[in-house]
Amino acid sequence: MRAALLTEYRKLVTTRLWWVLLVAMALVMVFMGASLAFTFSVPADQGGMGGGEGLPALTPTDVALSVYSVAAGFGYVFPVVVGALAVTGELRHMTITPTLLAEPRRGVVLGAKLLAALPVGLLFGLVGTAATVAGGATVLTLTGGETALGEPEVLRGLALSVLALGLWAVLGVGFGTVLTNQVAAVVVVLAYNQLVEPLLRLFLGSLEWGQPVTRFLPGAAAEALVGSSIYTAVGAGDLLEWWQGGLVLAAYALVLAAIGRATTFRRDIT
CB of 56 to other proteins, least distance (A): 49
Judged by CB, which is closer to other proteins: 19, or 203?
19
Verify binding: residue 183, other proteins, rule CB under 8 A. Answer: no
Q: Which of 4, 82, 158, 226 binds other proteins (CB under 8 A)?
A: 4
Q: Specify the residue, 112 or 154, whose C-beta has the smaller distance to other proteins.
A: 112
Q: Which stretch binds other proteins (CB under 8 A): 8-16, 67-75, 134-142, 208-216?
A: 8-16
Using CB under 8 A as the criterion, what x/- string covers residues 81-120 for binding other proteins?
A: --------x---xxx-xxxxxxxxx---------------
Smallest distance, Å, CB 116 to other proteins? 12
Annotate each residue in 15-54 with x if it binds other proteins (CB under 8 A) or - if it does not, as one string. xxx-------------------------------------
CB of 112 to other proteins, least distance (A): 10
Q: Which three-class secondary structure state does DSSP give residue 214?
A: helix
Q: Smallest gap, in angstroms, from Cβ of residue 13 to other proteins?
A: 9
Instruction: For the CB of residue 167, give the shortest distance to other proteins in the complex, in Å.
Output: 25
Q: What is the 3-state secondary structure (H, E, C) of the chain?
A: CHHHHHHHHHHHHCCCHHHHHHHHHHHHHHHHHHHHHHHHHCEHHHCCCECCCCCCCCCHHHHHHHHHCHHHHCCCHHHHHHHHHHHHHHHHCCCHHHHHHHCCCHHHHHHHHHHHHHHHHHHHHHHHHHHHHHHHHHHHHHCCCCCCCCCHHHHHHHHHHHHHHHHHHHHHHHHHHHCCCHHHHHHHHHHHHHHHHHHHHHHHHCCCCHHHHHCCCHHHHHHHHHCCCHHHHCCCCCCCCHHHHHHHHHHHHHHHHHHHHHCCCCCCCC
Q: How far is the CB of 222 from other proteins (least distance, A)?
A: 30
Q: What is the DSSP string of 178-200?
A: HS--HHHHHHHHHHIIIIIHHHH
Q: Work out how close the CB of 105 gets to other proteins at its nearest, in angstroms, rounded to a whole number.
A: 7
By the rule CB under 8 A, 263 interacts with other proteins: no
From the list 2-10, 157-165, 213-221, 253-261, the region that binds other proteins by CB under 8 A is 2-10
Window contacting other proteins (CB under 8 A); options: 1-9, 123-131, 173-181, 218-226: 1-9
